[in-house]
Amino acid sequence: MLTIIHKKNYFPDGKRLHRIRGAQWTDAYELTVAQQGITPEALALSSPYSEYFACRGDGPNTIILPGDHPAQRESVVRPALAVLFRIAIGPSADRYVKRFLAFERKGGGRPGWHWPSLLFPGVWAFYRRLWLLGIVFALLPVAGALAFSAVEPLFEQADVVWTLCAIAAVWILPGIFPALLADSILYGHVRYVVAKAESGARSATDAVQRLARRSPTSAAAAWLLGGGGILAMIAVVVPSLHDAYLDMGIRARVEQAIDSVHGLEDEIEADWFTARLLPRQTDHPGVRAHQGAAIIDDVNVHPATGRIKLALGPGVPALEGKTILIAPTRDVNDQWKWLCIPVDIPKRWLPKECR
């Protein structure tokens, strides 16, 4: 049994500790504590060093020294692991090994930043032989294009903002998730490859030879699968964005047509509801002078209700023969409100006031 004798050791309150032998305490102070009815657990909690001088589970004579608390302690990485990681990673090993050893010491991967995965996530995944992940990454731009199509009607015109948002939705945003997790994902893959090589190896040399026989990357897969994924993404995404661009143009023309009859609305508010005087309609000067008249085939004001009917012409082939009704109403404050009622016009072609 290990005996440790300290000539000058004190408890927190300054009383002398005479001797420690194994796990048994022989001290006059202990008798005083017992007489006062203080339990050993309460005494341990009163010491600022109780969390360090506590027995570990592997034996009563094992103590945790200051600076060696489990919450402050990092795992020790065996030196051979750096060599195994380097062989399993292949190209760019200098960049990855340092990060992977840090992950080992901390007990797991951490988010980081990886530029190739941001710009070309599918190509990077296929290059690193992460087949399933490569397919998922290749589909992310398609998901971005669908998401952009859902919010695209909120834009009023195809300007620089529209273009930048389209690029962000299709290219930048789908790459953020791979860029943040690429290092951790590859770390998990390399760790699995190394563990698999070591599990069936007779020695460290045998494990190294097993890893050396394996190709850690595939340039052919990056070109064929990654490049093919980009081409497939372009084939799917570009027509979708082109359709969204055309829809925005049609939506703008419909809004122009509605704006062209604002002069009619003013005259109806002023004259028709008081004197039942119908304004000039299709040939109304305010209508004909407006650029929206190019897609209007006919304008009609209903003599009984004052409702305006816009019949759209061949100015926009997709809108030819379709109709927009603009009906007058009054609210509780006797204020005029005009309701846009589209007839057989798809929602994606309608401005905000007509949806």
Confidence of residue 13 (pLDDT cuts 50, 70, 90): very low
Q: How far apart are CA 130 and CA 8, in angstroms?
A: 62
Q: What is the pLDDT of residue 306?
A: 79
Confidence of residue 21 (pLDDT cuts 50, 70, 90): very low
Least confident of 137-146, 286-295, 308-317, 325-334: 286-295
Cβ neighbours of 208 (radius 10 Å): 19
**Is there a contact between 143 and 235 (Cβ–Cβ < 8 Å)?**
no
The pTM score is: 0.64
Q: Is 58's pLDDT higher than 70?
A: no
In this structure, what token pair is assigned to residue 91?
A: 């190209």
Query: What's the pLDDT tens digit per position in 154-178?
Result: 787 777 888 889 999 999 999 999 9
Instruction: Give the three-state DSSP class for 33.
Output: helix
Q: How far apart are CA 312 and CA 325, in angstroms?
A: 11
Q: What is the pLDDT of residue 304?
A: 75
Confidence of residue 130 (pLDDT cuts 50, 70, 90): very high
Q: What is the pLDDT of residue 331?
A: 74
| b/e code 48-67 from CB counts within 10 Å (16+ = b) | eeeeeeeeeeeeeeeebeee
Q: What is the pLDDT of residue 282?
A: 59
Instruction: Give the three-state DSSP class for 3.
Output: strand
Q: Is 99's pLDDT higher than 90?
A: yes
Q: How far apart are CA 116 and CA 136, in angstroms?
A: 16
Confidence of residue 312 (pLDDT cuts 50, 70, 90): very high
Q: What is the pLDDT of residue 38?
A: 52
Q: What is the pLDDT of residue 95?
A: 93
Q: How far apart are CA 121 and CA 114, in angstroms?
A: 10
* % of the chain beyond a pLDDT of 90: 35
Q: Enumerate the domain spans of the chain.
A: 1-73, 80-252, 260-354
Top pLDDT among 72 and 340 is at 340
Phi, psi of 308, deg, nearest 5: -100, 130
Q: Is 98's pLDDT higher than 90?
A: yes
Burial (CB < 10 A; 0-12, 13-18, 19+), residue 194, is buried
Mean pLDDT computed over 232-260: 88
CA 140, 141, 142, 146 dihedral sign is: positive
User: What is the pairing mode between strands 296-301 and 24-26?
Assistant: unpaired
End-to-end Cα, the chain, rounded Å: 87
Confidence of residue 36 (pLDDT cuts 50, 70, 90): low
